């Protein structure tokens, strides 16, 4: 019994609407700058940004590194921080959701640390790690771990109580219930955490790079500000936006593949 | 499978009492189930049927009394107890076959045997064709069949069923009840079937216990010695159904 995917034909309007909205957005933006409604010193037009982008691909001036170098630095920092927050946050959240000892031990500390904005850690981070890679990874880690813990915790908590009862009557141990029922039940929430944590990490990247740095997309933005170059600022912002969207899309696709059986 | 008086008592429930603070829900329930018997329990709405089952299955500690399986205190880790719930309890991330094998997996049945037993039972209930599908791809009645198959697959000492067909329409219900009787006869399991549907109880059971209102005790016991397959419009059937209905009526 194979299942055929039902193909629903979308109306043409719905297909073109996302493109139309993007074109309209960039068109308006270009027009606003081109006709001087907003002076060029305050905002760069999309075409200027594109020119700067092409130039920056090979030119390290005026901020000291090429586009590729900036992106590479940022990706390294963001991914190290992201991976660390997943590796520590997800198991911690899962354990907190099922084992009372883990919850009693970590919940109070977590609740206390959670409301502190990641950038508030910057001064301490400088003391601890200096201004190298480690400090920035730490800030990003702090930012990413929060959604990992919360989502995994809630995911485990949402495990259907009837499923747990069912397993109990068969004589399942607490560990069996945790690994065989709670973790699979929590997976959709955990995948949600992958998305959320990425967003948190990526947005805090800029903040982390405010910390003295010599390359990175966040650094590019701050340098643009210091040099009075709106085109560089906007270029940095757009790069952060586009690369974040791409990574989000990739995670979404992986999630769809892996959770095929769970999604209704 | 007709029971004869020589069949030994498989399950003995002694003075089962459950109190929540001042509220007595179960008040000294005593009964036995013979090996291979299909016993139905009916009672008025809100008489504590679920509490009753949760105590028997040891999901909930009883305030007083014992539940003995083969003369030993019931223990889910030692005895094979299966529980089919009212709502479907399939694991959505496992295929139908893996769901049917889940109980055996917890019991530590070796892989080969699990697959073989699961396949045999799925054959019996007509799940074979969808063994590799996921639960979200099968209908609601199929989901309940998966739970029933999983329950039978562990060769249960005691199989508890809590209105498993309560949410299905009449035609499908009769069909699944026939199927249940068929598997039960074939596998010779000891079944405790709880329902509020009098007709269902009289249709499938060998003996019906009627519960009272809270505090709940056993009000009456009616043996159903009708030949199978049972005819729901035969005078004997109607008579028994009336008798049971009369005993649980609260209006």
Q: How many angstroms separate the CA atoms of B181 and B187, rounded?
A: 10
User: How many Cα neighbours within 13 Å face the side chain of B162?
Assistant: 21
Per-residue confidence (pLDDT) for residue B3, from 0 to 100: 46
Q: Band the pLDDT of A5: cuts 50, 70, 90.
A: low
Q: Band the pLDDT of A261: cuts 50, 70, 90.
A: low
For residues A202 and A248, the answer to whether their CB atoms sit within 8 Å is no
Share of chain A above pLDDT 70, in %: 94
Per-residue confidence (pLDDT) for residue A218, from 0 to 100: 85
Instruction: Name which of A192, A197, A165, A203 is nearest A181 in CA terms.
Output: A165
Q: Would the pLDDT of B29 be above 50? A: yes
Dihedral sign, Cα of residue A240, residue A245, residue A246, residue A250: positive
Q: How many angstroms separate the CA atoms of B176 and A178, rounded?
A: 33
Minimum mean pLDDT among A115-124, A252-261, B142-151, B158-167: which range?
A252-261
User: Which residue among B81, B95, B136 places its CB closest to the CB of A169?
Assistant: B81
Q: Would the pLDDT of B250 be above 70? A: no
Q: How many angstroms separate the CA atoms of A93 and A148, rounded?
A: 7
- Distances in Å between the alpha carbon of B243 and those of A163, A165, B32, B240? 37, 35, 22, 5
Q: Would the pLDDT of A259 be above 50? A: yes
Dihedral sign, Cα of residue A162, residue A167, residue A168, residue A169: positive
Q: How many angstroms separate the CA atoms of B115 and B133, rounded?
A: 15
The 10s digit of each residue's pLDDT in A43-63 is 888 888 888 888 888 887 777
- Distances in Å between the alpha carbon of B74 and those of A160, B13, B31, B50? 25, 10, 15, 18
Residues from B in contact with A at Cβ < 8 Å: 57-59, 75-78, 81-83, 85, 87, 89, 91-95, 102-103, 106-107, 129-130, 133-134, 136-137, 147, 154, 160
* B57: chain A residues, CB-CB within 8 Å: 169
What ipTM does the predicted assembly reach?
A: 0.86
User: How many Cα neighbours within 13 Å face the side chain of A107?
Assistant: 13
Instruction: Name which of B52, B61, B54, B64 is nearest B15 in CA terms.
Output: B64
The 10s digit of each residue's pLDDT in A140-192 is 999 999 999 999 999 999 999 999 999 999 999 999 999 999 999 998 899 88
**Residue A122 is encoded by which pair of tokens?**
């910057």
Per-residue confidence (pLDDT) for residue A162, from 0 to 100: 92
pTM exceeds 0.95: no
Instruction: Name which of A235, A246, A242 is nearest A50 in CA terms.
Output: A235
Chain A / chain B CB contacts < 8 angstroms: 65
For residues A29 and A46, the answer to whether their CB atoms sit within 8 Å is yes
Instruction: Name which of A63, A49, A113 is nearest A224 in CA terms.
Output: A63
Backbone angles phi, psi at B193, to 5 degrees: -110, 115
Task: Calculate how close chain A gets to B246, using CA atoms only, in Å.
Answer: 33
Share of chain B above pLDDT 70, in %: 96
């Amino acid at each position: 019994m194979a299942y055929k995917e039902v193909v629903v034909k979308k109306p043409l309007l719905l297909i073109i609407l996302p493109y139309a909205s993007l074109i309209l957005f960039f068109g308006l933006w270009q027009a606003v700058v081109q006709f001087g409604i907003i002076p060029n010193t305050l905002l760069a037009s999309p075409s200027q940004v594109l020119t700067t982008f092409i130039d920056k691909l090979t030119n390290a001036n005026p901020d000291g590194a090429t586009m590729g170098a900036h992106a590479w630095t940022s990706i390294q920092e963001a991914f190290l921080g992201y991976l660390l927050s997943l590796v520590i946050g997800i198991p911690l959240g899962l354990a907190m959701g099922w084992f009372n000892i883990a919850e009693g031990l970590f919940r109070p500390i977590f609740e206390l640390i959670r409301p502190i904005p990641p950038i508030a850690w910057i001064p301490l981070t400088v003391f601890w790690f200096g201004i190298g890679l480690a400090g920035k990874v730490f800030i990003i880690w702090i930012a990413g771990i929060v959604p990992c813990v919360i989502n995994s915790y809630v995911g485990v908590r949402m495990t259907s109580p009837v499923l747990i009862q069912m397993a109990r009557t068969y004589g399942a141990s607490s560990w069996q219930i945790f690994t065989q029922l709670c973790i699979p039940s929590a997976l959709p929430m955990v995948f949600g955490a992958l998305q959320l944590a990425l967003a948190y990490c990526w947005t805090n990247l800029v903040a982390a790079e405010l910390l003295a740095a010599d390359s990175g997309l966040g650094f590019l933005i701050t340098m643009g500000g210091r040099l009075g170059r709106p085109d560089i600022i906007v270029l940095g912002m757009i790069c952060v936006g586009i690369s974040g969207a791409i990574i989000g899309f990739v995670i979404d696709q992986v999630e769809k593949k892996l959770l095929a059986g769970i999604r209704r | 499978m007709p029971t004869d008086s020589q069949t030994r008592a498989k399950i003995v429930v002694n003075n089962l009492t459950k109190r929540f603070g001042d509220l007595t829900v179960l008040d000294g329930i005593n009964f036995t189930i013979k090996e291979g018997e299909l016993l139905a329990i009916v009672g008025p709405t809100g008489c504590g049927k679920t509490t009753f089952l949760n105590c028997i299955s040891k999901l909930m500690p009883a305030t007083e009394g014992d539940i003995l399986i083969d003369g030993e205190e019931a223990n889910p880790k030692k005895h094979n107890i299966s529980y089919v719930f009212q709502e479907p309890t399939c694991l959505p991330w496992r295929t139908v076959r893996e769901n049917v094998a889940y109980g055996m997996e917890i019991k530590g049945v070796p892989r080969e045997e699990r697959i073989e037993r699961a396949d045999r039972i799925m054959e019996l209930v007509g799940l074979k064709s969808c063994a590799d599908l996921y639960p979200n791809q099968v209908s609601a009645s199929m989901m309940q069949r998966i739970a029933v198959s999983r329950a039978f697959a562990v060769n249960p000492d005691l199989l508890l069923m809590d209105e498993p067909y309560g949410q299905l329409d009449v035609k499908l219900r009769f069909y699944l009840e026939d199927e249940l009787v068929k598997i039960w006869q074939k596998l010779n399991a000891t079944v405790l079937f709880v329902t509020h549907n009098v007709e269902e109880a009289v249709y499938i059971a060998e003996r019906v216990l009627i519960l009272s209102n809270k505090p709940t005790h056993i009000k009456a016991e009616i043996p159903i010695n009708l030949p199978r397959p049972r005819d729901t419009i035969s005078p004997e059937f109607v008579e028994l159904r009336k008798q049971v209905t009369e005993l649980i009526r609260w209006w």
